[in-house]
């Protein structure tokens, strides 16, 4: 497996609305999508498009969200994960497992509508890594 393009940087926030105001008003972002719920993944999501990648703003969907613990430790929010594209998510999972990394759960459909999986931060130098099967084309 080889990681490819940095698809997005995940940023956890207690309030997508407040974070959108920061990226729009302070940082001058001009391509901010509409927030949307992803209950199956326990988050509300909003994409800030920048050249070559995206900031993926994520807010807990409810108290069972996988990012609830992170926000308890980091109440103001913060950098949460990096997402790299891979050609084949199943081959990537097999390769990661063969190399002894902990793959969290099974590949499932993420916010881009393609299969994703996460590697445990303990195997990746303390950085939560998401692998995403490359969408058909880059827009």
Ligand X SMILES: CC[C@H](C(=O)O)C(=O)SCCNC(=O)CCNC(=O)[C@H](O)C(C)(C)COP(=O)(O)OP(=O)(O)OC[C@H]1O[C@@H](n2cnc3c(N)ncnc32)[C@H](O)[C@@H]1OP(=O)(O)O
Q: Among 59, 71, 56, which Cα is nearest to 16's?
A: 59
Annotate 94-113 with b (16+ C-beta within 10 A) or e (fewer).
eebeeeebebeeebeebbbe
Binding mask 31-70 for ligand X (x = CB under 6 A): -------x--x-x------------x-x-------xx-xx
Determine the Cα–Cα distance for residues 104 and 120; give it in Å rounded to an integer. 6
The values of phi and psi at residue 55, to 5°, are: -95, 125
Determine the Cα–Cα distance for residues 35 and 59; give it in Å rounded to an integer. 10
Residue placing its CB nearer to ligand X in the complex, 29 or 124: 124
* 94 is an interface residue for ligand X by CB under 6 A: no
- Which of the residues 57 through 86 are near Co ion (CB under 5 A)? 83
Determine the Cα–Cα distance for residues 32 and 46; give it in Å rounded to an integer. 7
Candidate ranges 20-28, 29-37, 91-99, 108-116; the one touching ligand X (CB under 6 A): 108-116
Residue placing its CB nearer to ligand X in the complex, 28 or 74: 74
Where along the sequence are the contacts to ligand X (CB under 6 A)?
A: 10, 38, 41, 43, 56, 58, 66-67, 69-70, 80-81, 83, 104, 110-111, 116, 118, 121, 126-128, 130
Q: Which residues are designated catalytic?
A: 130
């Amino acid at each position: 497996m080889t990681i490819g393009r940095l698809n997005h940087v995940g940023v956890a926030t207690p309030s997508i609305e407040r974070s959108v105001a920061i990226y729009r008003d302070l940082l001058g972002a001009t391509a901010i999508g509409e927030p949307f719920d992803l209950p199956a993944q326990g988050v509300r999501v909003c994409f800030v498009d920048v050249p070559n990648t995206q900031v993926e703003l994520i807010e807990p969907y409810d108290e069972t969200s996988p990012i609830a613990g992170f926000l308890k430790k980091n109440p103001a929010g913060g950098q949460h994960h990096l997402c790299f594209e891979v050609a084949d998510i199943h081959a990537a999972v097999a390769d990661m497992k063969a190399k002894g990394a902990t793959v969290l759960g099974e590949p499932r459909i993420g916010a881009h509508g393609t299969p994703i999986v996460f590697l445990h931060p303990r195997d990746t130098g303390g950085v939560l890594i998401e692998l995403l099967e490359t969408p058909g084309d880059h827009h």
